[in-house]
Amino acid sequence: MSYKTSWMCLKFSAALVFMLFLHSTYGQSNFAGVTELLGDKKQLAGGNASAIIWKDSGIIYRKDTGSLKLGKAEVQVPIGAASRWLTVALVMTFVDEGKLSLDDRVSDYIPVFKSYSKGYITIRQCLANTTGIEAERAAKLAQKKKFETLEEEVNYYAAHYDIVNNPGKDFFYGNSGINIAGRVLEVISKRKTFDRLMSERIIKPLGMKKTTFLPETGSLDPATGARSIASDYVRLLAMYLNKGVLNGKRILSEKSVEEIHKMQITSEVIKYTPKIMEGSSYGLGVFLEEGGKVWNCPSFTGSWVFIDTCGKYACVLFTPLLTGEPKKDFYLKVKEAIDVQIGCR
């Protein structure tokens, strides 16, 4: 064996020992505070939860409780608004390829928007919830309708949703903008549906084996329609944390990851945001907290997913659907318990 080969083997062995030490340092016992909180049946849908923490290229903590305990297979759950972190990633693959610009007008791809005085809405505004469409009334309208396709639903937005201010002026948190962006991708791709595009460009490349947007009934829903498992979703977060790369495979450009998590609004333009996220800013499909150091995309049905860029870790907390409104103070306690061990120093 040559000196060079021996030296390379020695370097590899040292790196392996370091990684093993790192993962033993962040052992399950170090997160006793997190484990205790996950046992709170009042806060977590009867104590049913699946939690994963990812740091330094791997999972350093995992806990599954109640109905989500690991058996032969992980339990897939609806992830609500956390779906949009996947959808935004898909949009940015088209941007990276030069097939789409964030500042393109929606009406360039869906001409019916121009017919209803919505011709100036851009893709960026769709992802940033600044289309000018009043979200709460729009949501009530959508609940009364059943759509067979994403095309049908988005065309309905164009014809029936009211614009209450010029695009780019006001922030109304809602689903319509994300769904419009998803439909634009279908138009660009011609014969491919949103779920197929998601599978080909994000889900399969990330190795997410039990994640899908296929609806049980009705149309595809890019904003809230995904179902997933914690060990799948954390791979998406790891990709974001690693500037667009997972396991040596580039999914997004570093520039696209930065653009997604760049503040797109100021506090004075926020007209409606969910109570649990009051005080947060917003990027493209994702909330920004602590001056943009924490990226958060909650489901609003119980699940909570975030990345702490200062502590350089990601956390996924999945639960079945809650019957009441989730309480942010509980999730903050979980984050505090994590930060005691691996938070930003």
Instruction: Say which residue, 44 or 49, is predicted with more confidence.
Output: 49
Instruction: Say which residue, 1 or 298, is predicted with more confidence.
Output: 298
Tokens of 2: 């040559």
* Band of residue 28 on the pLDDT scale cut at 50, 70, 90: low
What's the mean per-residue pLDDT of the chain?
86
Share of the chain above pLDDT 90, in %: 63
- pLDDT one-digit tens code per residue, 305-341: 999 999 999 999 998 766 556 678 888 999 999 999 9
Identify the CA nearest to 34 among candidates 344, 341, 345, 308: 341
Instruction: Say which residue, 308 or 215, is predicted with more confidence.
Output: 308
Residue 292 to residue 314: CA distance in whole angstroms? 15
* pLDDT exceeds cutoff 80 at 27: no
CATH node for 32-342? 3.40.710.10
* pLDDT exceeds cutoff 80 at 20: no
pTM of the predicted model as reported, rounded to 2 decimal places: 0.89
- pLDDT one-digit tens code per residue, 69-99: 665 567 888 999 999 999 999 999 999 999 9
What does the pLDDT read at residue 17?
39
- pLDDT one-digit tens code per residue, 91-150: 999 999 999 999 999 999 999 999 999 999 999 999 999 999 876 655 665 565 688 999
Where are the chain's structural domains? 32-342
* Band of residue 234 on the pLDDT scale cut at 50, 70, 90: very high
- pLDDT one-digit tens code per residue, 151-169: 999 999 999 888 989 999 9
* Band of residue 301 on the pLDDT scale cut at 50, 70, 90: confident
Tokens of 158: 């164009």
Share of the chain above pLDDT 70, in %: 83
What does the pLDDT read at residue 246?
97
Mean pLDDT of 59-73: 78
* pLDDT exceeds cutoff 50 at 171: yes
Mean pLDDT of 283-299: 96
What does the pLDDT read at residue 134?
76
* pLDDT exceeds cutoff 80 at 194: yes
* pLDDT exceeds cutoff 80 at 1: no
* Band of residue 187 on the pLDDT scale cut at 50, 70, 90: very high
* pLDDT exceeds cutoff 60 at 5: no
- Within 8 A by CB and 6+ apart from 324, the residues are none
